[in-house]
Amino acid sequence: MIAERLARIQERIAAACRRAERRPDEVTLVGAAKRQPLEKIAAARDAGLRIVGENRVQEAERKRPALPGLEWHLIGPLQSNKAKRAAELFSSIHSIDRVKIGRALDREASRRGKQLDGFLEVNLGSEASKHGFDPDDLAELARPLAELDALRIVGLMAIPPWETEPERAREWFRRLRELRDDLCSRPEWSACRGWLSMGMSGDFEVAVEEGATHVRIGTALFGERPG
């Protein structure tokens, strides 16, 4: 079942890429494994999944030893006191929502002689319930993070406001792409890869059409999360 779901998701990504005149290898699938059991993640890995996204440091600590052969990304919010473990466990952090967190991760990665990739999380809808940089002041607010060494800012991430129809999320994805284009045009961000982590189970095809390089897919791959 997991293998079939993975194959279907990959087909849908490829179809979205064709519509947008992109190559499927430009899009990275991150399996969002929040509260998913080990056996489902292992089945996805055995079917070809290579990257797992976890929302919590503690959950990755528990799961990672039992699941070799996977690359681990943090896709949920991070507290400053968890930066040390996050730098040890993950190769990429999708949820850098303030300068303090970025500096803490840079410091911990540097101590380990490690290069860590990071996405700036943007609160596109300025929602009180969500984390992230203010889109209107992104370039100025995030400027200090352009100077870091061990933490390499590779792009932007967002969880747009909830929309009932996937097509209605398009404007939010387009907005994140525009913010990326503006940021990457600035001299201090010339080394940024311009990646876009956007799109989940309900809207990832629209996100791919609008330029997503990383899609975070949970339910469509693993099924509903246990309560």
Domain ranges of the chain: 2-222
**Architecture of the 2-222 domain:** Alpha-Beta Barrel (3.20)
Render pLDDT for 55-65 as a digit per residue (tens, 0 to 9): 999 999 999 99
Per-residue pLDDT, 13: 98
Distance separating alpha carbons of residues 197 and 195, to the nearest angstrom: 7
Helix, strand, coil percentages in the chain from 3-state DSSP, rounded to 5: 50, 20, 35
* 29 has pLDDT over 90: yes
Distance separating alpha carbons of residues 93 and 97, to the nearest angstrom: 10
Per-residue pLDDT, 227: 67
Stretch 191-220: mean pLDDT:
97
Amino acid at 67: L
Stretch 69-76: mean pLDDT:
98
Render pLDDT for 142-163 as a digit per residue (tens, 0 to 9): 999 999 999 999 999 999 999 8
Render pLDDT for 83-109 as a digit per residue (tens, 0 to 9): 999 999 999 999 999 999 999 999 999
CA distances to 37, 135, 209 from 121, in Å: 27, 10, 20
* 47 has pLDDT over 90: yes
Higher-confidence residue: 108 or 225?
108
Q: How many residues does the chain have?
A: 227
CA-closest candidate to residue 53, choices 157, 184, 202: 157
Amino acid at 171: E
CA-closest candidate to residue 209, choices 170, 180, 165, 154: 170
**Dihedral angle at the C-alpha atoms of 127, 129, 134, 135, nearest 10 degrees?**
-50
Percent of the chain clearing pLDDT 90 (strictly above): 93
Per-residue pLDDT, 158: 97
Supply 37's token pair: 């059991």
* 168 has pLDDT over 80: yes
The pLDDT-based confidence of 34 (bands split at 50, 70, 90) is: very high
* 134 has pLDDT over 80: yes
Distance separating alpha carbons of residues 90 and 138, to the nearest angstrom: 25
DSSP annotation of 122 reads B
Distance separating alpha carbons of residues 149 and 153, to the nearest angstrom: 9
The pLDDT-based confidence of 126 (bands split at 50, 70, 90) is: confident
Find out whether 116 and 109 touch, Cβ atoms under 8 Å.
yes
